[in-house]
């Protein structure tokens, strides 16, 4: 009796397994996630994706940054995992936004640390600056339905400071050897 019940439970479990299984969630994140930079300098922030063990074939990334502290100098596509760009990266320094959409041909891409793009920022003011991956971002699974599998987004926070004061510049054009004082 017990053996027959065990077989019945295994059979029912086998039938229901495809319906109970769920895909792992994908994530979008920024690297570096923190740092300290000085006013007037530039720095680069990479946008990365983990597909959570799934094949993904499309991504839409919308980013918000404080326009009173940072300006986009340029987006950098570099060696992106994205094969084709539906919308080339566009940005607005007045609104503090940058967006891009791209895809990968079938069967999609399965990655734990895939480089999508990077953004070069210029520091225009001091204070804390949070760069946010917005809720409107999407990672679509290559399942023929465009199932959004984005489960988490990680933001970055930067400390923006004034540059260290420099000392006076000493010039003595008539001195015999400028390396000896």
pLDDT in tens, 94-141: 999 999 999 999 999 999 999 999 999 999 999 999 999 999 999 999
Q: Checking DSSP bridges between strand 26-31 and strand 56-64, what pairing results, if any?
A: unpaired
113/72 Cα distance (integer angstroms): 24
**Residues 123, 41: contact at Cβ < 8 Å?**
yes
Residue 7 has which token pair?
């077989």
The secondary element (H helix, E strand) that includes residue 16 is helix 2-20
Q: Checking DSSP bridges between strand 156-161 and strand 127-133, what pairing results, if any?
A: antiparallel
pLDDT in tens, 59-87: 999 999 999 999 999 998 778 999 999 98
161/3 Cα distance (integer angstroms): 71
**Residues 154, 46: contact at Cβ < 8 Å?**
no
How high is the pLDDT of residue 180? 66
**Residues 75, 102: contact at Cβ < 8 Å?**
no
91/64 Cα distance (integer angstroms): 10
159/15 Cα distance (integer angstroms): 54
pLDDT in tens, 139-175: 999 999 999 999 999 999 999 999 888 777 777 667 6
Q: Classify residue 20 by burial, with Cβ atoms within 10 Å: 0-12, 13-18, 19+.
A: exposed
**Residues 100, 87: contact at Cβ < 8 Å?**
yes
pLDDT at 17 over 60: no
How high is the pLDDT of residue 89? 87
């Amino acid at each position: 009796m017990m053996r027959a019940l065990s077989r019945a439970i295994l059979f029912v479990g086998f039938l229901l397994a495809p319906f109970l299984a769920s895909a792992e969630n994908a994530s979008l994140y920024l690297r570096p996630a923190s740092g300290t930079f000085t006013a007037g300098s530039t720095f680069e922030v990479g946008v990365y994706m983990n597909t959570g063990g799934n094949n993904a074939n499309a991504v839409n990334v919308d980013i918000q940054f404080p326009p009173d502290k940072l300006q986009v100098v340029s987006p950098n596509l570099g060696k992106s995992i994205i094969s084709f760009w539906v919308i080339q990266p566009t940005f607005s320094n007045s609104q503090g936004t940058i967006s891009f959409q791209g895809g990968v041909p079938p069967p999609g891409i399965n990655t734990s640390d895939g480089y999508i793009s990077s953004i070069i920022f210029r520091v225009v003011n001091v204070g804390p600056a949070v760069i946010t991956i917005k809720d409107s971002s999407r990672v679509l699974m290559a399942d023929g339905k465009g199932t959004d599998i984005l489960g988490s987004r990680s933001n970055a926070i930067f400390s923006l400071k004034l540059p260290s004061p420099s000392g006076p510049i000493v010039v003595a054009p008539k001195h015999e050897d400028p390396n000896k004082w």
